[in-house]
Amino acid sequence: MERPALQELLTDIEIGKIDLVVVYKMDRLTRSLMDFSKIIETFDTRDVSFVSVTQQFNTANSMGRLTLNVLLSFAQFEREVTAERIRDKIAASKKKGMWMGGLPPLGYDAVDKKLVINEAEAETVRFLFDNYVDLGSIRKLKKVADRAGIVTKRRQYGIRSSVRKIRIIN
């Protein structure tokens, strides 16, 4: 329900700009039975018809609504099963010790989905830990690190040299 385009559609329906909503497939509107119920209620209060190009049903009668709810229940089930599989896959990969992405912590490099000790950075980490134990203060440690020229790890991006300007359009 929080998608900007959906909110814009519902606003346009509320102010009477739309009397028919056409989607390719019903689950492109939503995969949540509860959200779909709210959307259909909005459609009903504003006399907005709903059509799915690839699925035949009519929301004007009880049989059509039942068919729609069954289809939507399967769409929601599919979304939840997919999310469970992804979570399970990530958990299994982590159990195998695979690095699941992101910037590797200082002292490590990601090589073939595994964290490998980067000896030069590991020396820096040891230096920082030893100094923290001696100083007992993050603020004091920051001053020591600044004097030593220690900075955070930088992410390397593989940007082609021919790219001169990037424009982001929202």
pLDDT digits (tens, 9 = 90+) for 72-99: 788 888 889 999 999 999 899 888 888 8
With a pLDDT cut of 90, the percent of the chain lying above it is 31
Range of the domain at 114: 97-170
Token pair 């000896």 is found at 119
Q: Write out the two tokens for 72.
A: 């939507």
- Do residues 66 and 124 both lie within one domain? no
Same domain, 69 and 127: no
Does the pLDDT at position 119 exceed 90? yes
Check whether residue 86 and residue 102 sit in a common domain.
no
66 & 116 share domain:
no
In angstroms, how far is CA 71 from the centroid of its own chain? 25
Q: Specify the number of domains making up the chain.
A: 2
Q: What is the pLDDT of residue 155?
A: 65
Mean pLDDT of 122-139: 94
95, 125, 144 — which closes off a domain? Answer: 95
Q: b/e for 85-111, b at 16 or more Cβ within 10 A?
A: eeeeeeeeeeeeeebeeeebeebbeee
Identify whether the C-beta of residue 139 lies closer than 8 Å to the C-beta of residue 128: no
Amino acid at 57: F
Residues 70 and 107 in one domain: no
**C-alpha torsion sign, points 17, 22, 26, 29:** negative
Same structural domain, 87 and 115:
no
Shared-domain flag, residues 76 and 138: no
Q: Are residues 40 and 91 in the same domain?
A: yes
Tokens at 60, concatenated? 């004007």
This prediction has a pTM of 0.46
